[in-house]
Amino acid sequence: MENIRYDLITALPEIIILSMAMIVLIADLFLTKCSRIAIYGLSQFALLAAAYVTVTTHTTSVTYAFTGNFVDDPMADVLKLMMFLGTSLIFVYSRQYLQLRNMFRGEFYSLVLFALVGMMIMVSGQSMLTLYVGLELLSLSLYALVALDRDNARATEAAMKYFVLGALASGMLLYGMSMVYGMTGSLNISDIHAALMSGAAIHSVLILGLVFIVAGLAFKLGAVPFQMWVPDVYEGSPTAMTMLISSVPKLAAFAFIIRMLVQGLQTLVVDWQQMLMIMAVLSIILGNITAIAQTNLKRMLAYSTISHVGFVLYGLMSASMNGFISAMFYVVSYVIMTLAGFGMILLLSRKGFEAESLNDLKGLNQRSPWHAFLMLIVMFSMAGVPPTLGFYAKFTVLQAALQAGYLWLVVFAVLMAVIGAFYYLRVIKLMYFDEPIDHSPIEAPVDMRIALGVNALALLVIGLMPEGLMELCAYAISKSLS
């Protein structure tokens, strides 16, 4: 009985979010269209309650629950808090957008909360089975969210592409896991590591399994050569769903890689290092070069995401403590940047109009100098211009790669970052030097304006004083991987 109580307390944040997801789904049946704002309040309350429990139950030690299949460590707690914050901002930014498009329903909030539970399980999974269940819960929720606007043909097409390719990637990941299980005789991450350390497994079969695992993970991250779904899904999805897909799940994918590759398959580090290196280089090339040719803002940000994933892989392929810390710092920074960027797109959208073309940003400074300034900070940060957060994030991962001996790869990444700055600076040129096509006033709820202002300014403030966030990432990684 004591063990059951301990397990439930350890997983209490997940239980809170899961319970609220079901409550929201049921409550929506009894609420009128005017009173559905209560669903928004309940969802935000669940995030606040889960964050409070996560903070109050936090310890510096690594604890296991559910017979070793679930782990609670500093990395899990920090990433979960970032997920709660990111999901809360998504709710704030998307509320007006959903109301104007008749999608302000319980299904959206319930599916997002279910997706959040899947991400939390991925972060705390200590078994390949637990990790896979979390990944599938996240994936199925995202497929449904993309297709939530049933009358939107583009969204339905994007959902079908996402579902078919996602199922293929999940199958590859599961096949790779089955090979590792066959060679080690265990699903538990710690037991797999111990079995590999003993040298009893057949190396060639493990390498084949590792290839399938890395391929499946690369799809979820959107890394080349498994990036084909990213631009189509980003462009075809309703912008609120695109913002979700592009941001918070990257935190869960990072945790999945740490659990699976770093903690479980650490003895195969030389092999997965080379795979990540190839994907990192290809992602930075394709992401930056292809983004230059885009005229759709969401599609441009999709290729930008592929490039950012390449920089995250630079930190991971360093296979050092500094590399993992810098990769976590980069992922967190990327999520903050992406939320602000898509928040601006949602801000400029209105009933019957999606602000998804680059031309929609023309003359934004004349329409609203404040929001043009916020978008300028976001673009500078994504381009890696000092003193923004994006610059420091790029600097840390490249520094870790340099320390690992990848000098020429670092030089290459810097050159590609300079090339990639073109399409970010083009957005600034359109906002400040072109005449506006659209002269309609920008209308948004007060909470959205405040949240967006704080979010964008945080890119500047944290960029000037990054020590706090860096120390938090260092604490999380060092305590969890020691």
Q: Domain tally for the chain?
A: 1
Number of residues written out for the chain: 482
**For 200, which DSSP code?**
-
* 207 sits in which H/E element: helix 203-221
Q: Is the peptide bond before 225 cis (omega within 30 degrees of 0)?
A: yes
* Burial call 251-287: b when 16+ CB within 10 Å, e when fewer: bbbbbbbbbbbbbbbebbeebbbebbbebbbbbbbbb
pLDDT of residue 285: 92
Rounded Cα–Cα distance for residues 459 and 457 (Å): 5
pLDDT of residue 197: 83
The C-alpha torsion from 359 through 360 and 365 to 367, rounded to 10°, is 140
**For 437, which DSSP code?**
S
Q: Is 125 helix (H, G, I), strand (E, B) or coil?
A: strand
What are the residues whose beta carbons fall under 8 Å from the beta carbon of 215, sequence distance 6 or more? 169, 172, 173, 176, 226
Q: Which residues of the chain fall short of a pLDDT of 50?
A: none
The alpha carbons of the chain give a radius of gyration, in whole angstroms, of: 21
Q: pLDDT tens digits for 219-235?
A: 888 888 888 888 889 98
pTM of the model: 0.93
Q: pLDDT tens digits for 393-425?
A: 999 999 999 988 889 999 999 999 898 888 899
pLDDT of residue 270: 86
What are the residues whose beta carbons fall under 8 Å from the beta carbon of 285, sequence distance 6 or more? 224, 416
pLDDT of residue 17: 93
Q: Name the residue range of residue 101's domain.
A: 2-481
Q: Is the peptide bond before 387 cis (omega within 30 degrees of 0)?
A: yes
Is 162 in contact with 220 (CB distance < 8 Å)?
no
For the record, the structure tokens of 16 come out as 């809170």
**For 296, which DSSP code?**
B
